[in-house]
Structure formats: structure tokens, C-alpha cells
Amino acid sequence: MNKVTYKVLLFINSGKGTKSYNVVMSKFKKQLIPSIDDSIHMLITDRMIGINYAGVNEMGCLINPSSITITAKGKEFIENQSSQKFRFWLPIIISIAALIGAYRKELLLLVQVLLQLLKSIMGN
């Protein structure tokens, strides 16, 4: 899933999980995103959203899309994405904290040397 499609899914999910079809289309077309139709189509194909229609024409075809609703599969996808971000950043944060803790004295000495160097440069 590309970034635009994910942004569309997040926008639909915001609030109660239902947005007006016209609001979604105008928001993303206003941002000059030409692939909004492709993104909506992909989300429907993957069953992450559903479109509610206002009526049926004389041939029995659905007309006038009125709203877009996120499905349980779409909500599950968003939850999985956020948990993957957490799983990515947590070890990095722990590693950085461990490095700082392990080399605390050396880092302090380095900062003191840099401050003395700056002081001597500014003093001359």
C-alpha cells in the first residue's frame, strides 16, 4: 500500500470511521493527488472500506456514492501498522539509552573538552 492510499484510509478512519464520499474526494483532489481514484479502488478491492450509495437507477445499478465507511479489516490494518512502528522504534531507543549509559563518563569528558576549546577560541 502506498503512502497516499494509507493517508486516505487514516482520514476515513478519523472520527467515527465514516466520511462523506464528496468530502474524501474533495480533500484529496484539493491536494492535487491524481491517484485518489486508484487509492479508493484499491481500498475497496482489499475490502478495507465500503461505499454506501444513495440510490439505484432504472437499470438496477448503484448511483451517487454518499459515504465511505472503514471495515474491520481496514481498522486491523491501521492497528498493525502502528504496532510495527512501535516494534521498530523501541529497540532503537533502548540501544541509544544503553549506549549513553555505558559511555556516560566519556561523553561528559568530551563535552568538557569541547567547552574548553570553545572558551579558548572565543577568548582569543
Residue 33 has a pLDDT of: 65
Tell me if 65 is assigned to some domain: yes
Question: In CATH, what number is assigned to the domain containing residue 38?
Answer: 1.10.10
Beta-carbon neighbour count of residue 28 at 10 Å?
20
Residues 6+ apart with CB under 8 A from 85: none
Tell me if 106 is assigned to some domain: no
The mean predicted confidence, pLDDT, of the chain is: 87
Mean pLDDT of 41-70: 87
Tell me if 33 is assigned to some domain: yes
Tell me if 83 is assigned to some domain: no
Q: Which of 56, 73, 61, 68 lies closest to 25, judged by CA?
A: 68
Number of domains in the chain: 1
Tell me if 5 is assigned to some domain: yes
Whether the predicted pLDDT of 84 surpasses 70: yes
Query: What does the alpha-carbon distance between residue 101 and residue 67 come to, in Å, rounded to a whole number?
Result: 53
**Residue 33: domain span:** 1-70
